Amino acid sequence: MRVADLMTGPLVTIGHDATVADAWSIIRSRQVRHLPVLDSDRRLIGMVTDHDLRLVILGRCLEEEPDRLARTLGHLRVNEIMTWAVVTVRPDADIREAARIMHDHKLGALPVADAGRVVGIVTATDVIRAVVG
């Protein structure tokens, strides 16, 4: 089975200059846990997860005065907290290859890229679903 057959869709992404508040809003409203981060040319440059956002938000809650928290999160940008070194997989890759990459790098999701453009995402849940049937 190919990765393209398992990709989660529609793909939900975020721009690198979006705020942490924007990212949190997207993750909550779209019920996703991983957001590929795109540059202004729509190329994949990073990933931000619900875990990343929770850590940042909790950290800011502990550091900031309550009345300043919303303003702080409204100014903090995704590219300040995202993971920059993104591991990807090709759409034509076998699902076992994707599973191996996810295992080796301890990833919960793997962006699917074709010619430098993100075309989908495959998650650990997708891989398990494929194996279980």
Whether the CB-CB separation of 122 and 7 falls below 8 Å is answered with yes
Beta strands 14-15 and 34-38, pairing class: parallel
Q: pTM of the prediction?
A: 0.85
At residue 51, the pLDDT reads 92
Q: Note whether 109 and 12 are within 8 A (CB).
A: no
Q: Which residues contact 55 (CB under 8 A, 6 or more apart)?
A: none
Domains and CATH numbers, the chain: 3-132 (3.10.580.10)
Query: Dihedral through CA 121, CA 11, CA 31, CA 51, nearest 10?
Result: 50
| Confidence at residue 75, expressed as pLDDT on a 0 to 100 scale | 78
Q: Chunked in runs of 10, what are the mean pLDDT values of the chain (133 residues)? A: 83 94 94 94 93 83 68 81 92 94 94 90 90 80
Position 7 scores a pLDDT of 83
- Kind and range of the H or E run holding 123: strand 117-123
User: Can you tell me whether residue 20 is helix, strand or coil?
Assistant: helix
- Round to whole Å and give the CA distance between 82 and 89: 19
